[in-house]
């Protein structure tokens, strides 16, 4: 799903960032009002974890994320990895990320099992305010029992943050044998 502008100067741009849990058929959408940055992407995952994930999986030690190859959570984005490190350290989770190859994000389950239904649910309805968008996203369901939660994120996310080589070296990251540039695990630091 992409960011878009609400044609009302009081509301401006909105950026939906989603998490889809395959095993429970539930979705989480963090509706941001600022820039789509790596900090926003990881904050979206953090909000999902503390709102839904931790309760659903209280004994979890690992988290698997399938992500697109580009954008704020792209495989080459250094800040994405730095922010994941912070999240891993905060939660104690080992976080494995498997990026789809460039141009293959259409195979990501979140597109077919969450965002396509959200798009169908709000089709033909004017997206005139944050409240309307949140309600439309949260009311999305399917015959197979999809449930979606949505929350507004009004935090400000700075663009253009540069990550130093030292910061990159400080990440406890293990690259997988198969395409380690796309598949890696970030482990919490002791």
pLDDT in tens, 147-190: 999 999 999 999 999 999 999 999 999 999 999 999 999 999 97
> CA dist 154 to 43, 96, 130, Å?
12, 28, 11
What gap in Å lies between CA 19 and CA 114, rounded to an integer? 9
What gap in Å lies between CA 98 and CA 85, rounded to an integer? 15
Total number of domains in the chain:
1
What gap in Å lies between CA 115 and CA 138, rounded to an integer? 12
Is the pLDDT at 60 greater than 50? The verdict is: yes
Task: Render pLDDT for 108-130 as a digit per residue (tens, 0 to 9).
Answer: 888 889 999 999 998 888 888 89
Q: Which domain holds residue 25?
A: 4-186
- Residue carrying the six token digits 């239904």: 117
Contact 168, 81 (CB under 8 A): yes
What gap in Å lies between CA 4 and CA 124, rounded to an integer? 16
The angle that helices 38-48 and 78-91 make with each other, rounded to 10 degrees, is: 30
């Amino acid at each position: 799903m992409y960011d878009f502008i609400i044609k009302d100067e009081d509301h401006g741009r909105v950026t939906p960032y989603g998490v889809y849990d395959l095993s429970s058929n539930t979705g989480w959408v963090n509706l941001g009002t600022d820039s789509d940055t790596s900090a926003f992407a990881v904050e979206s995952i953090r909000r999902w974890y503390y709102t839904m994930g931790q309760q659903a999986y209280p004994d979890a030690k690992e988290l698997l994320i399938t992500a697109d190859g580009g954008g704020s959570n792209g495989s080459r984005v250094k800040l994405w990895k730095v922010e994941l490190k912070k999240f891993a350290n905060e939660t104690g989770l080992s976080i494995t990320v498997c990026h789809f190859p460039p141009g293959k994000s259409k195979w990501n389950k979140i597109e077919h099992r969450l965002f396509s239904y959200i798009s169908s649910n709000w089709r033909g309805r004017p997206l005139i305010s944050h409240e309307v968008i949140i309600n439309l996203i949260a009311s999305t369901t399917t015959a197979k029992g999809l449930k979606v939660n949505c929350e507004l994120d009004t935090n400000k996310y700075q663009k253009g943050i540069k990550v130093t080589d030292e910061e990159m070296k400080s990440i406890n990251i293990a690259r997988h044998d198969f395409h380690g540039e796309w598949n890696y695990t970030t482990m919490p630091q002791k």
